[in-house]
Structure formats: C-alpha cells, structure tokens
Structure 1
Amino acid sequence: MSETRAALIVIDMQNGFINDRSRGVIPKVVELVEHWETTGRPVVFTRYHNYPDSPFERLIHWSSVQSPPETEIVPELAEHAGRAKAVIDKKIYSYFSSAGAALTEQEGWTDLVFCGLATESCVLKSAVDAFERDLTPWLVTDASGSHGGQPAHEAGLLVARRFIGAGQLITAEDVRIKF
C-alpha cells in the first residue's frame, strides 16, 4: 500500500448515538484508532449536528443530537479526537460535507478507512460517497455498529457489499495487515 495515502475516518461516535445496541462497538473503535495512531497516518472524526426543522425532524420525526452532551464525542474517544487531524462537524449523513471533501482533496488521500456509527446510514453513505469520488473506501465491519441494533448493522453491511464491493469490507485485524 505504499502508493496509497490513507486516512481513518471515525464517523459520529457521539453520546447521542450510544445505547445498549451500539455501546459494544466503542472498545473496538478505540482499539482501531489507537493502532492507526501508531502508524502516523491521519485520523479524522466526524460529529453530526441535527437542527430544528431539518429533514431528519420533518421527514423521519427524529430530533435528537442537537446539542451537548448528545453531540459530544464519547468519553472513551474524546482524547483521540483532540489529537486528530480534524473533527468535521456536519449536518448530513456523509463525511463528505464541504469540509470533509475539501480536507480529503487537500491532503490527497486515496484510501479512506471508515468506522463508527451507524453502519446502515452515516458509515455506509460516507463509504459510497468515497466510491463515487473515485477514492477507495474501506468499511471496518467490527469497528462499526448501529444504535438500531444488529439487524440494522447487518443491513448496512449487505448494502455496502453491493455498493462498494465485498472486498472493501474488512475487519480491524485486516486493517493491521493492509495498513
């Protein structure tokens, strides 16, 4: 992978997305981030911010994650976010807000390794958007999860295989080998 420029993108590991169905992914994301930091490659965190009259409120009837503490990165990762290349605040599913897209282009990253919450929405959308930008997305299956539970996580993985290719779904152990 010497020809690639890779970044780890940690999607929406925020208090507002943690519940009994998603809490279990935190240690695996911490482990992945700690490993990635030892490689010297960049880590980027995203933080989703909902807002009044957003499409999430109007169409899905979901009004959470509008203010702290829901919008804050989980305590287990807060220190890592403080050392990250960037923390991208966004109001959309995807990492590819204008700030995320600009950072990726500015840094010349070719491979984006995605983990975090939620597999079936923000992680999936970010990976698909990377694919459509002619970048190489990697989705870390065991370092992603869903506050919707295991069925939602599995649905996200199923769709990801179709959208970005089954070979782009890897485990945290695969990340250690590939990167």
Structure 2
Amino acid sequence: MKADRPVLVVTDMQNGFVREQSVHIVPMVVDLVRRWREAGGDILFTRYLNYPGSPFERFFGWSRLQSAPETDIVPELQQYLSGGTILDKKIYSPFSEDGAKLFEQRGWKEAYFCGIATESCVLKGAVDAFERNLTPWLISDASASHAGPEAHAAGLLVARRFIGPGQVIRGADIPASILPVAREQ
C-alpha cells in the first residue's frame, strides 16, 4: 500500500444492485480493477448493508440488501476481493467512521470512484472526499444506476456541480502514470 498512490473505490458492486440498467458496467469495472491491481494500486470495495428500521426502509419502503446473496459482491469481482480492502457500510458514503479512519491510516489523498449508483453512493463518496479536501475523480463509464440512464446522467450532472467538471472522467482519462494504458487482448 503506497500512501502516495490513489485508491480505486469500487462502490457497491453487489448482486442486489446489478440489474438490467446497470449490468453493462460490470466488464468495465472488472477490467479497471484488474489493471489497477496489476499497476500495484490500492483498491477499496464498498458493500452497502441495509438493516431493519433503516431510513431506506422507513422512508422508501425499501428492505432489500439485508442479506446474502443480494449483499454479496458480484461473482465477476470475487477473485479480486482478497487483494483489496472491503468496507461494509450502512450509509451512502465510504466515509463512515471506519471508512474515514481507513482513508487516514492508508494516507489516501486521491480517490477514483466507480460502481453503483452514480446518483447516490458513487456521488456521495466523491462529494465527501471533496469536502475532506481529498482529490475525487468520478469515472463516468465505470459507473451506472440501477434506476436507469436518466438517474446516471443526473448523477453526473450533479457531480460536475459538486466536485468540478474536470473531476468527472472516463476510464481512458486516468493518467498512464497511475493506470497504464490497456493492452489489446
């Protein structure tokens, strides 16, 4: 773990969030994680855990993602979990008390966010990083919404307003010094 290297935050790539509207990013996220690992970078996988009586249950009537297999990270990413850190969270952001300590302990000052859902958990993580004076990047083509493309687009619009228009990038825009250019397969 190199404190001077950024962290890739893979947000809530869980069975319960990967649906018809979001499944298209799974190969992109898997490739990004594979390449990030090959480059020796740190990876933080977040996993949202809903619970009985949560605000999601009370205000949205939403009681999913309370147990496996919905809470499990998608099978395509399972092989990479041992090489990363898994952060269980009960809020949108990875900056729970435990998550904030983890960022501090690891010395992560720059974070690249991807995953599900662009307009909620991915966005909130990037905004919270910004508000902690870290450098957030939101990878637009490695993020999606289980609510569909309109919610994804709304999340990107709000992200540009919250963290800066230049902080919303595509995977191909990640500097080669951090993530070498993908080789043809």
* TM more than 0.5: yes
One-letter amino acid of the structure 2 residue matched with residue 27 of structure 1? P
Residue 101 of structure 2 corresponds to: 102
Cα offsets for 1:58-77 (capped at 9, x unmatched) = 01111100000000000000
Residue 60 of structure 1 corresponds to: 60
**In angstroms, what is the RMSD of aligned CA positions?**
1.2
Cα offsets for 1:84-113 (capped at 9, x unmatched) = 1x1000000001111211110011111000
Question: How many angstroms apart in 1 are the aligned matches of 2:15 and 2:177?
Answer: 30
2:160 is the alignment partner of 1:156: no
Question: How many angstroms apart in 2 are the aligned matches of 1:176 and 1:77?
Answer: 23
2:114–2:122 Cα contact (<8 Å) kept = yes
- Describe the SS at the equivalent of 2:176: helix
- Describe the SS at the equivalent of 1:94: coil
One-letter amino acid of the structure 1 residue matched with residue 91 of structure 2? I
Residue 147 of structure 1 corresponds to: 146
2:144 is the alignment partner of 1:137: no
Residue 165 of structure 2 corresponds to: 166
State the 1:82 CA deviation: 2.2
Question: How many angstroms apart in 2 are the aligned matches of 1:82 and 1:72?
Answer: 14
Moved over 2 A (4+): none
Question: How many angstroms apart in 2 are the aligned matches of 1:176 and 1:143?
Answer: 16
2:5–2:42 Cα contact (<8 Å) kept = no
2:25 is the alignment partner of 1:25: yes
Question: How many angstroms apart in 1 are the aligned matches of 2:38 and 2:175?
Answer: 11
1:44–1:81 Cα contact (<8 Å) kept = no
Question: How many angstroms apart in 2 are the aligned matches of 1:110 and 1:91?
Answer: 23
- Describe the SS at the equivalent of 1:50: coil
2:59 is the alignment partner of 1:44: no
Cα offsets for 1:102-142 (capped at 9, x unmatched) = 11001111100000000000000000000000000000000
The gaps in structure 1 that reach 5 residues or longer are none
State the 1:177 CA deviation: 3.0
Residue 70 of structure 1 corresponds to: 70
State the 1:35 CA deviation: 1.1
Structure with the higher fraction of residues in helix conformation: 1
